[in-house]
Structure 1
Amino acid sequence: VTPKAWKMKCGGTSETKPATEETQQIVQHVKAQVEEKEGKSFDVFTAVEFKTQMVAGINYFIKVHVGNDQFLHVRIFKSLPHENKPPELTSYQSKKGKHDELSYF
């Protein structure tokens, strides 16, 4: 087992990767929840980069551009496919900048 694989098996987060079409679809699932919590709507809600954490499903830590120089970090839980549940917002951090590093929260 390589150290990288070991880290993933033990629940560590992956390296940061550029956002994909899948991560954009995942953030779209929770956009309304974030807007409700923030008390405002976002014209821009674009996934920029992400990390994952293997648990009994996958935690996604995603940096989201919400317009101008404003970003959010969202943590979304995606359950195992056989559970047939939509992605769920578990936490988020507002007032983030473009260069703020994604980390576990």
Structure 2
Amino acid sequence: MMCGAPSATKVATAETQNIADQVKSQLEEKENRKFSVFKAVSFKSQVVAGTNYFIKVDVGNEEFVHLKVFHSLPHENKPPALSAYQSNKSQQDELGYF
């Protein structure tokens, strides 16, 4: 993968779900709601000074959110951080750079 360019969309993995779970509370705080369903479906990654993850998450009732999560380099020892998100998405909405 070229540095700076987002990867192709891939099926979410256990690692992707773990990253999404770590920022779930940050999203719930911003959206002022709780999500009983929070299942990572697909993702793209972008290598920067760390990694940006763009993750499509199923939040139930045929509603999806797109998360942009920054995961710093391992030596920085920081948890993933929610950089941005897009709500009111559908399963058909393509996961893009934002």
Whether these two folds match at TM > 0.5 is yes
Secondary structure of 2:88's partner? strand
* Alignment gaps of 5+ in structure 2: none
Q: State the distance in 2 between where 1:29 and 1:73 align.
A: 15
| CA RMSD in angstroms, aligned pairs only | 0.6
Partner of 1:102: 95
Partner of 1:37: 30
Quote the offset at 1:41 in angstroms.
0.2
Aligned residues: 98
Structure with greater helix percent: 1
Q: 1:14 aligns with which of 7, 16, 24?
A: 7
Q: State the distance in 2 between where 1:16 and 1:62 align.
A: 9
Pairing of 1:85-100 with structure 2 (within 5 A): 85-100=78-93
Quote the offset at 1:39 in angstroms.
0.9
Q: Deviations over 1:15-67 (max 9, x none)?
A: 00000000000000110110111111000001000000000000000000000
TM-score normalized by structure 2? 0.98
Secondary structure of 1:92's partner? strand
Q: State the distance in 2 between where 1:37 and 1:87 align.
A: 16
Q: State the distance in 2 between where 1:83 and 1:36 align.
A: 25
Quote the offset at 1:94 in angstroms.
0.2
TM-score normalized by structure 1? 0.91
Letter of the aligned partner of 2:35 in structure 1? Answer: F
Work out whether 1:46 is the aligned partner of 2:46: no
Work out whether 1:76 is the aligned partner of 2:61: no
Percent identity over paired residues: 61
Q: State the distance in 1 between where 2:80 and 2:33 align.
A: 21
Q: Rg larger in 1 or in 2? A: 1
